[in-house]
Structure 1
Amino acid sequence: MISMIGKSIRKWWMLFSLPTLAAFMVGFVVPFILGIYLSFTNFTTITDAEWIGVGNYSGVLSDPEFIHSLVLTVLFTVITTVIINVVGFMIAYMLTKKISGSTLFRSIFFMPNLIGGIILGYIWQLLLNGVLSFWNRSITFSATYGFWGLVILTCWQQIGYMMIIYIAGLQALPGDVIEAAQVDGASQGQTLRRVILPLMMPSITVCTFLTITNGFKTFDQNLALTNGAPSNNSELITLNIYRTFYGTAGMEGVGQAKAVIFFIIVAIVAIAQNRLSARKEVAL
């Protein structure tokens, strides 16, 4: 029976994969290639694109606001990646212990991830402005307030999601290895550092990859919370690309060039992180 199913899959796999392949080509590959082409043109619509070479890229590299948003995005990504993964792992580690109400706590921590980024941005704008009102300040008064407000919002939203991944990883750990470490006299801290963390590297790799890419791609929270105020000093790179593309007529090509550069940066960082983390994974 199994061999018959295997033979059928091998015979008809192309037929079943064609719809997915067609959707992937139409929804990703074609727009991606077209976007690279448009980054070398001056255009307002696809039909009036005029080839200008690397002129758009020269404009990107000479744009101080783009460089500022790139540096701010890198700093934001590093901070949120560390906080989300450390706190998410700590919560997951505690909730895998035998404590009452652990299932309820898991649901509560995961709930913020179900709320859309735009809604979260406006909710946290009200909350943070309520706190800052004691000092007659606003979340959009200073880029520092906006930056750290965005860090708080992002961590609050994503910690619960990473917690679920870490819980799944912790529950899949081989109990005999941990018991052997305890029998050998390892303390709880030693067991965590020398046994649990190395065995958790596959989960850590996934969560780190997700938090890094999410950090670079943060857009809707930034748009709703500060919209780049004051004077675009709190805008991340995705908001800068959006403002360049849609904010000024004739800048579509520069905005597209920024998007291509952004893709290259994120791809390089994600691949490098994935390989570095994968090297530390322990084979069972």
Structure 2
Amino acid sequence: MTNTVGKAIRKWGWLFALPTFAAFCIGFIVPFIFGIYLSFMDFTTVTDATPVGLANYKEALSDPEFWRALGTTVLFTIVTTIIINVIGFAIAYMLTKAIKGSTLFRSVFFMPNLIGGIILGYVWQLLLNGVLSKWGASLTFSEKYGFWGLVILVSWQQIGYMMIIYIAGLQAVPSDIIEAAQVDGATGPQRLFQVILPMMMPTITVCTFLTVTNGFKLYDQNLALTNGAPSNKSELVALNIFRTFYGRVGYEGVGQAKAVVFFLIVAAVALIQNKLTTSKEVEV
């Protein structure tokens, strides 16, 4: 019976995968390839594109605002990756203990992830501006306020999501290994840093990858919270690309070139991060 089912899956499995594969090609592969093509064109619509060679890339790479936005994005990603993963793991570690009401706490911490980024941006804009107004300031008063406001917003939203993943990882750690370490006299911190964390590296790899990529591609919260103000100094790369593409007539090709460069940077960073964390994983 098992062999018959296996043969049927091998014979007809592609048929069931075909709709998903077709949707992936139509929704991602084709637009991606077409986007690379347009990055070498001067266009206002896709029907009037004319080749310009590497001119769009030269214009994109010589734009100081693009590099400033990239620097802000890198710093933002580093800060949020550390905060989200450290706090998310700490909460997960506490909630895997025998704490009364831990299920309720998990739901409460996870709920911010269910709210859309645009809505969160406007809500936190009201909250943070209400606090800053006591000192005669606002999120748009300085790029520092906008930056740290964005860090608070994104960390608050994503900590609960990473917490759920860390809880699953902690529950997958073999209890007999922890018990053996305890019998050998290992203290709580020793069990955490020398037993649990090494066993958690696959989960840490996933969470770090998600937070790094989310940090780099963040757009909606940035748009709603500060819209890049003041003077576009608090904008991240995704918002800079959008503003170039839609906010400057004749710069559509430059915006597309920025998007391609940004994709290459994010892909390289994600691959390096994944390689570094995967190399620290241990086998059970």
Tell me which interval the TM-score lies in, with the shorter structure as reference length: over 0.9
Residue 72 of structure 1: aligned partner: 72
Structure 2 residue identity aligned to 1:93: Y
1:119 paired with 2:116, answer no
Deviation at 1:20, TM superposition (A): 1.4
Distance, in Å, in 1 between the alignment partners of 2:205 and 2:62 is: 35
Structure 2 residue identity aligned to 1:112: P
Distance, in Å, in 2 between the alignment partners of 1:280 and 1:161 is: 23
Residue 267 of structure 1: aligned partner: 267
Residue 241 of structure 2: aligned partner: 241
1:279 paired with 2:268, answer no
Deviation at 1:196, TM superposition (A): 0.2
Residue 222 of structure 2: aligned partner: 222
1:158 paired with 2:158, answer yes
Structure 2 residue identity aligned to 1:263: F
Structure 2 residue identity aligned to 1:204: I
Mapping for residues 120-269 of structure 1, pairs under 5 Å: 120-269=120-269
Structure 1 residue identity aligned to 2:237: I
Residue 49 of structure 1: aligned partner: 49
Distance, in Å, in 1 between the alignment partners of 2:26 and 2:170 is: 39
Deviation at 1:19, TM superposition (A): 1.2
Structure 1 residue identity aligned to 2:283: A
Q: Mind listing any 5+ residue stretches in structure 1 that lack a counterpart?
A: none
Distance, in Å, in 2 between the alignment partners of 1:106 and 1:17 is: 35
Normalized against structure 2, the TM-score is what?
0.99
Distance, in Å, in 1 between the alignment partners of 2:249 and 2:260 is: 19
Deviations 1:58-102 (A, max 9, x none): 001110000000000000000000000000000000000001111
Residue 27 of structure 2: aligned partner: 27
Residue 232 of structure 1 aligns to a residue whose secondary structure is: coil
Q: Mind listing any 5+ residue stretches in structure 2 that lack a counterpart?
A: none
Deviation at 1:14, TM superposition (A): 2.1
Distance, in Å, in 2 between the alignment partners of 1:147 and 1:248 is: 25
Structure 2 residue identity aligned to 1:78: I
Distance, in Å, in 1 between the alignment partners of 2:20 and 2:108 is: 35
Structure 2 residue identity aligned to 1:68: R
- Please report the RMSD computed on the Cα atoms of aligned residues, expressed in angstroms: 0.6
Deviation at 1:16, TM superposition (A): 1.6
Structure 2 residue identity aligned to 1:245: F
Deviations 1:167-187 (A, max 9, x none): 000011100000000000000
Deviations 1:245-276 (A, max 9, x none): 00011000000000000100110011111111
Ranges of 4+ aligned residues in structure 1 off by more than 4 Å: none
Deviations 1:101-154 (A, max 9, x none): 111111110010000000000000000001001111111111000000000000
Distance, in Å, in 2 between the alignment partners of 1:233 and 1:55 is: 25
Normalized against structure 1, the TM-score is what?
0.99
